[in-house]
Structure 1
Amino acid sequence: MIRPVQQSDFKFIYDLYMHPQVNPYLLYEDMDEDSFVPIFSELLNAGVLYIFSEDERDIGMFKLIRLKHRTAHIAYLGGVAIDPTMAGQGYAYAMFSEILALGQSMQLTRIELSTSVENVRAIRLYEKSGFVREGILRRYTYLQSENRYLDEVLLSYLYE
């Protein structure tokens, strides 16, 4: 099941974003809870952050951000993460099935995402879920903590 994030979900979201196995692949540098509060508030107010759960246990998260104007048929999918203690159990694939159903209910014709070329496991999941590689975004993400840039793979899912 997917649902919009609520204020009471702060700890789950923060812990997942800052988890050492997850954080290098997401947008925000490692930070303390107080520094994350305004980011969380912005995402909460925008209504773009979701939690994936099963049997009332929170397992994963993602952002689905609809674009505007001539690109209003597209949404950007980001902040995709599964609790590492739940990895390898099929939850990520199940979450993607629900993400695609959500996109369809929003009458999207395209969902796009990008991830580090080093995130091979995620790329396999995205392709298994029906996303297709479109290209490489060179030196796209800067990891301040490591003082290096990462190339990202751009992938998209097109609804028929």
Structure 2
Amino acid sequence: MTRQTIPSDFHYIYSLYMHRSINPYLLYEYMDEAAFQPIFDDLQSKNLLYIFEHEGQKAGMFKLVPFAHRTSHIAFIGGVAIHPDFSGKGLGKQMFREIIERGRSMGMLRLELSTATENVRALRLYESVGFEKEGVLRKYTWLKSENRFLDEVMMSYLYA
């Protein structure tokens, strides 16, 4: 089940964003809770941040950001993560099925996302639920903590 975040989800969301195995593939550099709080508050106030639950436990998160005007038929998916304790159990596919259904219920015709070209597990997951590669953005993400750039693969899901 997916649901929008509530203020008490802060520590869970923070722990995922700052997790050593997850952080390199997400938007924000490592930071302390005080620095992350305004980011969380902003995302939550705009209703863009979601929790994925499995059997009553928080198992993952994602952002779903609808576009506007001539692109109002598109939503961007970001901040995707399954907690490492739940990894390898098929929950990523389940979460993405729910994301796709949520996009459909919002009237979206297209979902977009990007991921690092080296994030092979994520690429396999996204393709397995119907996303297609559209191109590579070279030197797109700067990992300050590792002093290097990552190339990103742009992907989309088109509703029939």
Normalising by structure 1, report the TM-score.
0.99
Deviation (angstroms), 1:85: 1.1
Q: Any stretches of 5+ residues in structure 2 without a counterpart? A: none
| One-letter amino acid matched to 2:72 | A
Q: Which residue of 1 aligns with 2:48?
A: 48
Whole-angstrom CA distance in 2 between matches of 1:86 and 1:70: 38
In 1, distance between residues paired with 2:143 and 2:93?
27
Q: Which residue is equivalent to 2:110?
A: 110
Aligned to 2:15: 15
State how far apart, in whole Å, the 2-side matches of 1:140 and 1:24 are. 13
Q: How does 1:61-140 map to 2 (within 5 A)?
A: 61-140=61-140
Aligned to 2:3: 3
5+ residue gaps, structure 1: none
TM-fit CA distance, 1:24: 0.4
Number of residue pairs the alignment of both structures matches: 160
CA deviation profile, 1:73-121 (whole Å, cap 9, x unmatched)? 0000000000011100011000000000000000100000000001000
- Normalising by structure 2, report the TM-score: 0.99
Q: Could you tell me the percent identity over the aligned residues?
A: 57
Deviation at residue 55 of structure 1 after TM alignment: 1.5
Secondary structure in structure 2 of the residue aligned to 1:155 = strand
Equivalent-residue separation in structure 1 for 2:159 and 2:86 (angstroms): 29
Which whole-Å CA distance do the structure 2 matches of 1:152 and 1:83 have between them? Answer: 22
The Cα RMSD (Å) is 0.5
